[in-house]
Amino acid sequence: MSKWEINLIGKKPKLKNPVLIEGLPGIGNVGKISADFIIDEIKAKKLYDIFSYSFPHSVFVAENNLVELPSISIYYKKLKKNDLLILSGDVQPTDEESCYEFCEKILDIAKEYKCRQILTLGGIGLHSEPKQPKVYCTGNTKNSVKDFKNGFKVNEKLFGVVGPIIGVSGLLLGLAKRRNIEAVSLLAETSAHPIHIGIKGAKEIIEIINKKYSVGINLKELSKEVELIEKDTLKRTEQLGELSKISSIKKLGGKISGDYTDYIG
């Protein structure tokens, strides 16, 4: 195993200027929940598996009680109006140089498939999650952001609200600009607490993506799930995983540590 392994699963599909959507773990895991939910609902097909020595040196315990190396994958789906590539995974590279290297490899793939746009997803961590989380939109060119604002309730005035966008969700935007690929980011308000599942923020983001790219997902079950959470005071990831009907939330159960004193090694 070398430092980076990108394994193609099956044959390369012919995609028409797809949009690459990134949803890796981050604040409130808003991006990851959004990406995983969409992958499940549209039954996107796995295209690449990515392993790396720069991922955390640990294994997750999956729903089937067996262990899995941390991995990041790219899925694809040909929809009526748009083709999608979705980047989803368990981790982000652990050190800064590896994060740059990883983003460059993702951009190599985006170039290869002639992606017309990159959309990264993330959370803005506040003391507590608001009742109605706002969604901000930023990007690497004025046009790409203007394009997203159009018809959607997103706030583009991000300057001075918070500081830098850390990790893949930010770096992909900056490095994409150097390759003349337009990239935007949707960032939903959520709680900064380490094991918070930002499902309300994710719901706002999923609704925008669903409409923007005509994905065609039925969002009723997602809305019911959010109602359930608002009634309970469930914050613990594993409990939420047990109660949740949504597969992507359940899977999260084993990826995030529960009580900070419970750990294995």
- Which residues, numbered 216-235, are part of the site for its own copies (CB under 8 A)? none
Q: What is the greatest pairwise CA distance in the chain? A: 50
Q: Closest by alpha carbon to 21, among 121, 113, 138?
A: 121
Binding of its own copies at residue 167 (CB under 8 A)? yes
Position of tokens 């960032």?
187
Binding of its own copies at residue 10 (CB under 8 A)? no
* Residues near 210 by beta carbon (within 8 Å), at least 6 away in sequence: 216, 217, 219
Q: How far is the CB of 187 from its own copies (least distance, A)?
A: 6
Q: How many residues bind its own copies (CB under 8 A)?
A: 78
- Decide if 77 contacts 84 (C-beta within 8 A): yes
Q: How far is the CB of 264 from its own copies (least distance, A)?
A: 5
- Chosen residue from 58, 108, 111, 224 binding its own copies by CB under 8 A: 58
List the interface residues with its own copies, window 180-209 (CB under 8 A): 185, 187, 192
Position of tokens 């991006």?
31
The total of other beta-carbon atoms located within 10 Å of residue 54's CB is 18
- Decide if 133 contacts 190 (C-beta within 8 A): yes
Q: How far is the CB of 156 from its own copies (least distance, A)?
A: 5
The total of other beta-carbon atoms located within 10 Å of residue 230's CB is 13
Binding mask 61-80 for its own copies (x = CB under 8 A): xxxxxxxxxx----------
Q: How far is the CB of 72 from its own copies (least distance, A)?
A: 14
What whole-number distance in Å separates Cα of residue 102 and Cα of residue 112?
A: 15
Q: Which is nearer to its own copies, 161 or 223 (CB)?
A: 161
- Chosen residue from 18, 122, 133, 198 binding its own copies by CB under 8 A: 122
Q: Which is nearer to its own copies, 194 or 216 (CB)?
A: 194
